[in-house]
Structure 1
């Protein structure tokens, strides 16, 4: 894909994420996607998203910066939402959280085949008042 196509592709992916459309999200992810330090595969990706959306039904990402080079997309995002459901063993706190996220994607044939990014679990837990891991 050309850089402008990658930018459009990423905008569509982020839109699917912000709509919490798990089927659409799955269509952007290769079935055997590799994720650094996380379980691989599209099923694990979608499960993690579903868990996030259950805990934070209003979760949204805002794109800060996007860099495209060859088959790579680097994104700086702000993710935020209100903790209204269970999330990773923490009951709803009704707290609003806001975290910086940095992600690097490798895209092949319109699907994410590799992902690495910042770990925001500790920051989320701290903002929920549960800093222990």
Structure 2
């Protein structure tokens, strides 16, 4: 894939997440992949999305930066939402959160094979504490 195609691929993936069209994930991820260093099935990755959006129904990913090099994508996003259920070990407080997430991805044969993401958990904790 060209750098432009990889950029469009990633933007389509984030659009899928924001629209909650998880049934389309086969277009973006292999049946088996590495997620944060752990081998998982695509269904496990989809379950991770559900975990976030069930607890934070208005969760939104907003792409700030995308860097493409070879078969790899690095992205910085700003994530927002208001938890209504326990999420990542935090009780809902009625407060909304806004934090940065960084993701690193390897694309093999047109789909994600390796995915790493990091979120600013300390910032989330401070925002939920008020």
TM-score bracket for this pair, using the shorter chain length: 0.7 to 0.9
Give the structure 2 partner of residue 48 of structure 1. 48
1:18 aligns with 2:14: no
Q: Distance in 2 between matches of 1:95 and 1:47?
A: 24
Spell out the pairing of 1:86-125 with structure 2 (5 A cutoff): 86-88=86-88, 90-125=90-125
**TM-score normalised per structure 2:** 0.86
Spell out the pairing of 1:25-104 with structure 2 (5 A cutoff): 25-38=25-38, 40-88=40-88, 90-104=90-104
How far residue 124 of structure 1 moved from its aligned partner, in angstroms, is: 3.0
How far residue 24 of structure 1 moved from its aligned partner, in angstroms, is: 1.9
How far residue 95 of structure 1 moved from its aligned partner, in angstroms, is: 1.3
Gap runs ≥5 in structure 2: none
RMSD: 2.1
Structure-2 change in CA distance of 1:62 and 1:46 (3 Å): same
Q: Distance in 2 between matches of 1:127 and 1:121?
A: 10
Structure-2 change in CA distance of 1:47 and 1:30 (3 Å): same
How far residue 6 of structure 1 moved from its aligned partner, in angstroms, is: 0.6
1:80-104 Cα distance to aligned partner (Å, 9 max, x none): 1011234246543221011111111
2:107–2:114 CA contact under 8 A, matched in 1:
yes
Gap runs ≥5 in structure 1: none
**TM-score normalised per structure 1:** 0.85
Q: Distance in 1 between matches of 2:110 and 2:86?
A: 33
